[in-house]
């Protein structure tokens, strides 16, 4: 099993956990809102090369963004609420 596959499964499990908690405590409308918000970090983790190409086109960057940096950014976005809750 490759590291990419493990990362994708772990990110999906975390996102499903977010959706479950949001659905239980905030209602399923809140869960649907979280699903929309979670689409960006999941896309960064699951499709880093494609997201880097989109960022290059949108920002007119000189070179395409590294796939590994896109994955790291996706993980930061995905784990940000957990880390903030632990600090607060």
String of DSSP letters for 4-18: HHHHHHHHHHHHHHH
Structure tokens at 48: 């880093």
H or E stretch at 71: helix 67-87
Question: How many domains does the chain divide into?
Answer: 1
Q: Is the pLDDT of residue 62 over 60?
A: no
pLDDT value of residue 49: 86
Q: Express each pLDDT in 1-51 by its tens digit.
A: 788 899 999 999 999 999 999 889 988 888 888 889 999 999 999 998 888
Structure confidence by residue, pLDDT tens digits, 64-84: 567 888 899 999 999 998 888
Domain, as residue range, for 31: 3-87
């Amino acid at each position: 099993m490759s590291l990419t596959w493990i990362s994708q499964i772990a990110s999906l499990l975390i996102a499903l956990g977010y959706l479950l908690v949001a659905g239980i405590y905030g209602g399923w409308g809140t869960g649907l809102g979280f699903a929309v918000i979670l689409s960006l970090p999941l896309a960064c983790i699951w499709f880093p090369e494609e997201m880097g190409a989109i960022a290059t086109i949108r920002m007119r960057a000189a070179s395409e963004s590294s796939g590994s940096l896109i994955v790291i950014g996706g993980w930061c976005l995905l784990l940000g609420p957990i880390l903030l809750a632990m600090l607060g």
